[in-house]
Each structure stands twice: as C-alpha cells, then as structure tokens.
Amino acid sequence: MRITQRVKKILDWYESDNPGTKANLARILMTGKLAGTGKLVILPVDQGFEHGPARSFAPNPAAYDPHYHFQLAIDAGLSAYAAPLGMIEAGAASFAGAVPTILKLNSSNNLATSKDQAVTGTVGDALRLGCSAIGFTIYPGSEYAFDQMEEFRELADEAKASGLAVVLWSYPRGPNLDKAGETALDICAYAAHMAALLGAHIIKVKPPTAHISLDAAKKTYESQKIDTSTMAARVRHVVQSCFNGKRLVVFSGGEAKGLDGLYEEIRGLRDGGATGSIIGRNTFQRPKEEALAMLQTIIDIYLNKA
C-alpha cells in the first residue's frame, strides 16, 4: 500500500498516536474508490439494534444477511464497514482483509426509555476480528452523557494502546433539546468539538440545519456574522470546530430520502469540506444495483465528477 501525500498530511495531524493506529487510519483512507484522496464513504449497519430488524431490512430483505453488507461495501468500493459485534462476527472469516471494519462497541434500542447506550463489544473483540477501528456513540445533552464520555475515554485509551483507530458518533439529544435542537448548527458544532476534545480520530455527526438552539450562542453567531445560509457554509463551520479541520469529520445519511435530495446534501457536505459520508439506510434499504449506482454517484461527487 503506497500512501499518498494527502494521507500522509492527515496522519501528521494525529501527533500522539503510535504507528499501529496510524497504519489502521491509513488503511481506511487508502481503501476503495476514494483511496488516497483524504475522503471517506463508510457503510454503517447498526440500525437493526437501533430501530429493529423489520424497519431496517424489510425494504430490501437480502440485507437481513450480514454477508450482504460486507459484499456491498466491497462491491461499491467503500472505505470501511461499521457494525456491532454479531454482524462483524458473522462475516469476519469470509471477508478477512477484504474491507476495513469498524466494530461498534455500544448501541441503544427503541424498546428502552432512557437516552443511554449499552456497551456490547470490547477492544479485544475488535482485535480478534481484525478490525481497523472501534466505534462508539455519545449523546451530548442526555442525562447519561458524562457516563458515556467516561466509558469512551477508557475504551479509546485501550484501543489506541492496541494500535486501533477510534470513531465517535456524537449525537446530541436530551431533555433540554427539542427535535430542531438536535440538528441545530450550534449544537452539531458543539457535539463535534466535544468529540475532537475526547480524542476521536474520526468524528460522525448529523448534517446541521440553519437553526441556532442556544440563546447564549445566538448572540455570538449574530455578532460574529457566522454564515448559516447554506449546507456548505454550515458544514464548513462544523469542520472548523474540529481543530480547524485537523480531524476527520463524516456526516450521517439519516432516514431514507429521494436521490435528488440526497445528492444535493452530499454536494453541500463536499463544498463545506466534509471528509465524507457514513451512510446506512439510504444504501442498504435499496435493491443492490440501485445502491451501487447511488454510491458511485456519491463517490463521484466527492471526486468532483458530479
């Protein structure tokens, strides 16, 4: 694997990390059709835990099979595949070395009443399964946020010491945030910045809206004339909040949507300097050929070809 100058520059951002961690970051950055560009498209399949199997896979029944997702990520030329323990275990041998994997170590579910997550995997599992990284979710704003941050701190420390990269989903939610607040620009930027401060190598947040949620923040956004007018401007602000762009920031795809709306959003992410997309339901809920065509267009957008 020959590392491009762009990827070498990115690896230099992570000054404290050991060669093992940098090698695994490089593996993710040098895989697939975006290899070497510094851009990423990742397939996450943890929605069965979060939303239930029928809501996740019934629109495309082939996706009930864990092997389907490994093969989809490979056929599409994606950067990595992220999933909880059982999904990774179910294809770990068949697809060993074929695509970088990210073991998602915690999950919530729709049967629970609290905004918390259960830890369902270990760093040892990630090493045993040949993963390049661990993944973890925190809910800034929830009553459990501090516990989740402390759990992440311990797991991230162990992962880095073992030479793994660390991906952090930072999804604001809780009693002081309404639905609009969860994707407000100031809240998304705050959540992304917290993820950077917690030591994540790759940060996952939702695409931000123009809404400003915190009254104290509104004054600053107005007085400093922070541009909220377009998706590109808002993404640029979120990326700036992650150490002035010195951390990799990917944005979720969210609920399934029409292709025109999805592509318009991806162009906004690209133009704002996003590292890329981590897109699940919009991918695996479509028939495979449609999903492959869609992912090719997304990749072309990040390559400035569409």
Low-confidence winner among 32-41, 251-260, 294-303 (lowest mean pLDDT): 251-260
pLDDT at 257 over 80: no
Residue 3: per-residue pLDDT: 96
- Domains of the chain, start order: 39-302 (3.20.20.70)
Task: Give the C-alpha separation, 209 to 36, whole Å.
Answer: 30
pLDDT at 88 over 70: yes
DSSP string over 110-174: TT-SSS--EE---HHHHHHTT-SEEEEEE-TTSTTHHHHHHHHHHHHHHHHHTT-EEEEEE---S
Q: How confident is the model at residue 279 (pLDDT cuts 50, 70, 90)?
A: very high
In this structure, the number of other CB atoms found within 10 A of the CB of residue 195 comes to 29
Residue 256: per-residue pLDDT: 64
Instruction: Using alpha carbons, list the distances in angstroms from residue 208 to 85, 113, 162, 272, 277.
Output: 30, 26, 34, 11, 14
pLDDT at 288 over 90: yes
Residue 289: per-residue pLDDT: 98
Element (H, E) at 101: strand 101-104
Mean pLDDT across the chain? 96
Instruction: Using alpha carbons, list the distances in angstroms from residue 123 to 24, 117, 189, 248.
Output: 14, 17, 28, 21
159-190 pLDDT, tens digit per residue, is: 999 999 999 999 999 999 999 999 999 999 99
Instruction: Using alpha carbons, list the distances in angstroms from residue 269 to 25, 138, 207, 266.
Output: 21, 22, 8, 5
- Whole-structure pTM value: 0.97
- Judge whether 140 and 204 are in contact, CB under 8 Å: no
| Cα radius of gyration rounded to whole Å, the chain | 18
- Residue 298: CA count within 13 A, CB half-sphere: 31
Size of the chain, expressed as the number of residues it contains: 306
Active-site residue among 104, 204, 218, 246? 204
38-84 pLDDT, tens digit per residue, is: 999 999 999 999 899 999 999 999 999 999 999 999 999 999 999 99
240-251 pLDDT, tens digit per residue, is: 999 999 999 999
131-154 pLDDT, tens digit per residue, is: 999 999 999 999 999 999 999 999
Annotated catalytic residue 257: no
20-51 pLDDT, tens digit per residue, is: 999 999 999 999 999 999 999 999 999 999 89
Beta bridge partners of residue 80, listed in sequence order: 42
Instruction: Using alpha carbons, list the distances in angstroms from residue 287 to 51, 145, 283.
Output: 20, 37, 9
